[in-house]
Amino acid sequence: MSDKPVAKPHLLTISTWYFCTFKIGESVRRSATSFTAMVISIVGLGQPVLAADFPARPEYKVPVSVAPVSQWTGCYIGGNIGAEWLRSEISNVSGIDSISESSAGFAGGGQFGCDYQAGTMVFGARNQINWADLKSSSWVNAGAFAGYTTTIANNWSDVLTARVGYAVQPNWLLYFQAGAAWRNLDQKLFDWTGTQVGQFGATRAGWTVGVGSEYKVARNWSVFLEYKYANFGTSTANIAVPAVGLYAASPRSSVQTISGGVNFRF
């Protein structure tokens, strides 16, 4: 018999299994290490990209007040239309104390003026000339002219005002105006048959105040709406009527106006 050792098959199989297991484990560890490094690398590189995807937090800034741009400095010309209410009173009529009457009608005309803006304040002057068909009628019920009718007509007015405005917005103006006013006064006297027996005409001077709002709809165009009150004081009217006597009276009138219009600015 030979003395050489005999290899045991089961020992060889165990050694081979351990060797394979070691190799597989080493490979798995290397793969896991590589995968972990790759994940860390992706996450690290992805942070700037993810941050860039979200908008930056807005930075709050205190609003800075800006001086309004001048919108109203310059001159203009335009037209207007509206309604007027006339209140007339005739006192010291021959034979009676006084008579009064009211009437309403349409009025329209044109205006021109100039403005100057300083900050939010606007200063200007305007002349407005309007035509109207305002007429009031009163009946004399006592005295030598009992049964006679007297009429007062206001045919035109000329209003010259200074105005002060406040620019609520760059293109929106609120204003106050005051000044002098002139109005044509035409008084007629009719007998009981309706025949005109006399006439007295004069231009009366008075004063006016008002408020309004103006809005610029374009660079050179604006529209406005306003209210005015005008008082023309008292005048003296003497009309000689043959076979009856002298008709003496002191007519006075006041007018309220609401009008709107458009201006071309240059």
Q: What is the pLDDT of residues 157-209, one digit of tens each?
A: 999 999 999 999 999 999 999 999 999 888 889 998 999 998 888 888 999 99
Q: Please determine, for residue 69, whether its predicted confidence score (pLDDT) is greater than 80.
A: no
Of 21-35, 49-63, 229-243, which range is least confident? 21-35
- Which pLDDT band holds residue 137 (cuts at 50, 70, 90)? confident
pLDDT number for residue 216:
97
Q: Residue 245: in which H helix or E strand, if any?
A: strand 245-265
Per mean pLDDT, which of 87-96, 108-117, 251-260 is the most reliable? 108-117
Spatial distance between the Cα atoms of 203 and 181, rounded to a whole number of angstroms: 10
Using the predicted structure, report yes or no on whether residue 135 has a pLDDT greater than 70.
yes
Question: Cα–Cα distance between 9 and 15 in angstroms, integer?
Answer: 10
Question: Quick one: tokens of 201?
Answer: 């005409």
> Binning pLDDT at 50, 70 and 90, where does residue 17 land?
very low
Instruction: State the pLDDT at residue 22.
Output: 45
CATH of domain 74-265: 2.40.160
Per residue in 75-100, pLDDT tens? 999 999 999 998 887 776 665 556 67
* pLDDT at 14 > cutoff 60: no
pLDDT of res. 10: 47
Q: Quick check: 122 and 113 in contact, CB under 8 A?
A: no
Give percent of the chain with pLDDT exceeding 90: 44
DSSP per-residue string spanning 100-142:
EEEEEEEEEEEEEEEEEEETTEEEEEEEEEEEEEEEEEEE--S
Q: Are 95 and 143 in contact (CB under 8 A)?
A: yes
**Who has greater pLDDT, 196 or 56?**
196
Question: What percent of the chain is predicted at pLDDT more than 70?
Answer: 71
Sole residue written with tokens 């025949």:
195
Burial (CB < 10 A; 0-12, 13-18, 19+), residue 20, is exposed
Q: What are phi and psi of 263, to 5 degrees?
A: -125, 140
pLDDT reported for residue 39: 44
Mean pLDDT of the chain: 80
φ/ψ of 13, rounded to 5, equals -65, -40
